[in-house]
Amino acid sequence: MSPDFPSYSPAEEHELLRQTVRELADAKIAPRAAEIDETGEFPHDVLAALVQADLHAVHVPEAYDGAGADALATVIVIEEVARACASSSLIPAVNKLGTVPILLSGSEELKKRYLTPVARGEAMFSYALSEPEAGSDAASMKTRAVRDGDHWVLNGTKMWITNAGVSDYYTVMAVTDPTLGAKGISAFVVEKGDEGVSFGAPEKKLGIKGSPTRQVIMDDVRIPAERIIGAEGTGFKTALATLDHTRITIAAQALGIAQGALDYAVGYVKERKQFGRPVADFQGVQFMVADMAMKIEAARQLTYHAAVKSERAMHGETIKDLTFVSSACKCLASDVAMEVTTDAVQLLGGYGYVKDYPVERMMRDAKITQIYEGTNQIQRVVMARQILK
């Protein structure tokens, strides 16, 4: 591997970064996590703390005033924030999701115009692909973009958009030629302030309640032609390429949720006594804890492995198995997060089931990682196709 890229194992600077993020998360994010979940309000104070520490969008290259962190560093940031609060981890995760299409396919003008304010913490960026009738089958989208002179006019509704209404910018996929199927889809940047842009009511969700999920509604939204991302008709290809990189960030979020649940459960079983002994002394509990830790570490190694491949691909190297490993780490880590958080609730017994303790929140937050950015059923389809092609 080229010395310009991080090794498979985190380097010293990665571990120092982890320590920095964990200290911030423990001090300013974890104490707010229960309230964020209870109120369902976007944590503007957490965003401010992340921006102050330059941890809100570490992936943006230095050329656009960003930190220029590699993909592994980005994974570690998201993992450590998610360990404290899954909702808050969607700040750096979705900033990456929204901007990767521009990094991959956007003009230099678009990069300068939109990446710089995100890097400075002046704006957030969301990603709008799904629609009410186009989820796993994203290519069946109905949102249209029609060329009108030096502008495009967009009409349609995007659904399940993370941080909608809070983000200033949106990568929007829209049909520019309905006769070409997936090859007739193009990508655009839409701004919250564009005339004709509105948002649906916030969804009432099982978890990640501090991250608003809303419809993005476009009614004759007229945008300059130069806001197209890449060439006309390449939007769906860009969307799929984006997910190859950003499924890894969902794996990172799942890892953090799982690690947070394990850490809390371990502390609990060491203190909780039954039959005159700490619960941790019982072999059945020890086996559960061992399995939880083993699964997390397996998922972590696959996720870090995928992150290094993602970084190499972003620098132009052809990584033939990137699609496979990104799907695999997302699928494995999210399944592990659901298993581990469920076991954490079990280890706390009745206390695990009440909101006075954090593991029930972590279990609810973990569920979405098996669904968004491609359900785990779709991930298995993707992996199988990569193996069999």
Q: Using alpha carbons, select from 350, 349, 347, 370 the residue that is nearest to residue 261.
A: 347
How many CB atoms are closer than 10 A to CB 351? 14
236-388 is classed in which CATH architecture? Up-down Bundle (1.20)
Q: Tell me the C-alpha distance between 26 and 22, whole Å.
A: 6
- 231: its two tokens: 């060439």
d(CA 172, CA 133): 16
Residue 10 has a pLDDT of: 85
Can you give the pLDDT at residue 7? 53
Range 125-233 classified under CATH 3.40.50.300: no
DSSP string over 255-323: HHHHHHHHHHHHHHHHH-EETTEEGGGSHHHHHHHHHHHHHHHHHHHHHHHHHHHHHHHHTT---TTHH
H or E element that contains 157: strand 151-162
167 Cβ contact partners less than 8 Å away, ≥ 6 residues apart = 94, 98, 123, 124, 125, 126, 192
pLDDT reported for residue 8:
67
Per-residue pLDDT at 9? 76
Residue 1 has a pLDDT of 40
pLDDT at 4: 52
Domain boundaries, the chain: 12-119, 125-233, 236-388
- Indicate the SS3 state at residue 363: helix
Q: Do 163 and 212 contact (CB within 8 A), yes or no?
A: yes
pLDDT per residue of the chain (389 residues) written in tens, 0 to 9: 444 554 567 899 999 999 999 999 999 999 999 999 999 999 999 999 999 999 999 999 999 999 999 999 999 999 999 999 999 999 999 999 999 999 999 999 999 999 999 999 999 999 999 999 999 999 999 999 999 999 999 999 999 999 999 999 999 999 999 999 999 999 999 999 999 999 999 999 999 999 999 999 999 999 999 999 999 999 999 999 999 999 999 999 999 999 999 999 999 999 999 999 999 999 999 999 999 999 999 999 999 999 999 999 999 999 999 999 999 999 999 999 999 999 999 999 999 999 999 999 999 999 999 999 999 999 999 999 999 99
The answer to whether 130 and 160 have CB atoms below 8 angstroms apart is yes
Say if CB 218 and CB 197 are below 8 A apart: yes
- Picking from 254, 261, 219, the residue whose alpha carbon sits closest to that of residue 369 is 254
Q: Would you state the structure tokens that stand for residue 82, as one six-digit string?
A: 């998610």
Residues 172, 177, 182, 188, Cα dihedral to 10°: -20
**Catalytic (active-site) positions:** 373
Please tell me the total number of residues recorded for the chain in this structure. 389
Contact 186, 234 (CB under 8 A): yes
Q: For 351, list phi and psi in degrees, rounded to 5.
A: -65, -30
Report phi then psi at 59, rounded to 5: -75, -15
* d(C-alpha 253, C-alpha 91), whole Å: 11
Element housing 145 (H / E)? strand 144-148
Q: Is residue 26 helix, strand or coil?
A: helix
What is the topology classification, in CATH, of domain 12-119?
Butyryl-Coa Dehydrogenase, subunit A; domain 1 (1.10.540)
